[in-house]
Every structure is written in structure tokens, then in C-alpha cells.
Amino acid sequence: MRFKKDLLKTASSLASIDVDYASLEYLAVGGSGTIYAINSARILKEFDDAGIHMERRVSQRLGSDHVNIVRCLGQTRDGKGLVYERGRSVREVLRGGNGSDGGDSGIPLETRAAWLIEAAEGTQYMHDQGIIHADTGCHNWIIVGEHLKIIDFEGSSLDGGDAAASYEWFSYKESSPRISVKTDIFAFGCAVYEVVAGKQPYDKLIVFEDRMLRAKKLYAEGQFPHVEGLPLGGLMLAFWKACFDSMQQVVRELQVAGVADTSDVDYDYGDVGIREVKQPTSSYRSYPADVPKSQNNRHNAFFTLTSRYVPSI
């Protein structure tokens, strides 16, 4: 009964919006609904009954004030759809709009760094509100104006409840519980890889029907995508090796990485499985000790804003 009251309260607090269904443009279909373009600034997301209840509750809790959370503008008068601001998928932007993987989209390095910081801040905000996204990735990040925003909450976990969503085939490592802050962080590391490298982790497995099982097996064995030569390579390994306990830590690391001039960074390999990297500011970064020593240079430990582009590989 309390759950039903919460739903009614949430639904009644959203503004009702008139939608001209005859003018809608079909965009995509998802696990629990269909997305249409209303105009250049707004989209309509129509749901089945199960999906809209959770999306509505999560959107209501997140509110419309955080710059990195997509704004829910209201609901249709029949209560079967939600209206959101419209943006462009980060994955689509990375692919240059042509649907191919790994193309050089010419996106400046500082832009990609800013995206990652904003995605981390939005994810931290979700966690602080008791919400696990449960499908973190570039497909659920959009660019609206000058900002990155997180979308798609119908499968999220609220206050420790079950999550209906699942991570993409390459962004989940078997975990107990199945969905947690830690699993969001692991998937975030996979998204960092995609933003930097321009392709998904283990992208060559896409041709296999059992690609998810293959990826899970590799992760379970401690095998991760090669990051040698990539900016933020050590940081990616830190995500995958569970070095972070919260998105607050992730935000802090990315903020340092996004502005650091690492030309004078000193590296010290410890004997305790963690490598300490000393910044010129005398702050310390901790990354897995098995990051290749060939990464001891200014281009591989952190984003370096003196470089124009992230290499496409």
C-alpha cells in the first residue's frame, strides 16, 4: 500500500504535457519502451507498465537541478510516457555519427576528459541518492548543449532494491550482490576505456554469440583489455581491479587527471601490489602495480591537455 501511495505521489508531482502523436519521429526501441522525437529539444519515452513506475520514481528523486542528470520535463496526460530533454548519445558522437567503431572522430582530449568528469559526478550524485544505475555506459550518456547527462533509469536499483537492468556484455564482472556501487564503478571503467580508445573493451568478441560469457571468464581470470599506450591506462586498471570504493574517489582522480601536467611526475613501484604516483602538487595517486613500466611517461599515466587528440587504436 505504501509503495502504491509513493507511485501516486510521484506521478501527481510531474507536469502533464500535451503531445502531438501524429508528428512524432521514431528514434529507437529499448527493453521496456519506445523513444520518439517530439522536436529538436525534447523526446518522448513510452513504457510498458513495469518500466515507467521505476523510471518515474528515480527521475522524481533525482530532480532536475543536477547538470549531469537528464531533465524529466513531465509526463503524458495518460501517464504512459515521460518527456525528457533531447541529446546525442556519447557513443554515437565517438563513432562520428556513422555507426562504426574506432573511427577518429577528432574530439579534443580536453573534451573527453570533461565528459568523464561530468559522467562521474552524475553517477556519484545517483549513488548519493540511493540509486544504482545498473547499466552504466556510453550508450546511456548523452550530450545536451555543453554538458554530459545520464539517462535511462527504468532498470535501476532504488534503495537497495532489485534492478531490472543489466550491464552491457563487456562491462560486467560476476559479483555478489549482482548489482552494487562496485558494479557501477567497474562498468564506468569500461566506459572510460571506450571514451579514450574509441572502441569497446574486447570489441573483437562481438562476433561471438557467447561474448558475454567469454568476457566474464576473462575478467574472472584477471585478464583485462590492453591499456599500454593509452592515456588513463593505469586508471582503467584501477577500476577493473576494484581499487575504488566510491564514485567520490573516482571524481577526485579524474579531476586531477584532467588538469595535471604530468611532465614531472615521479613513479615509485611499491612491493605491496599498489603503485604510488607522486604528483608535482605532492598528492598521491594509487594504481595497480602491474601497470607496464613502459607507461612511465607523461602521456600514459593521466590525460595530458598539451596533446590535441586521444589516439584511435
For 3, the grid coordinates are 509503495
Composition of the chain by helix, strand, coil, percent to 5: 35, 20, 45
To which residue does cell 611526475 refer?
265
pTM above 0.95, yes or no: no
Question: Could you tell me the domains of the chain?
Answer: 2-86 (3.30.200.20), 89-295 (1.10.510.10)
To which residue does cell 593521466 refer?
302
Give the per-residue pLDDT at 31.
72
CA dihedral of residues 279, 284, 288, 292 (deg, nearest 10): 20
Give the per-residue pLDDT at 106.
85
Query: Splitting the chain (313 residues) into consecutive groups of 10 residues, what average pLDDT does each group show?
Result: 43 82 93 91 89 92 97 94 97 75 70 96 98 98 97 96 94 94 98 96 96 97 94 95 97 81 32 36 43 40 34 31
Contacts 24+ apart (CB under 8 A), 75-79: 75/11, 75/14, 75/15, 75/16, 75/17, 76/16, 76/17, 76/19, 76/44, 76/46, 77/16, 77/17, 77/18, 79/11, 79/52
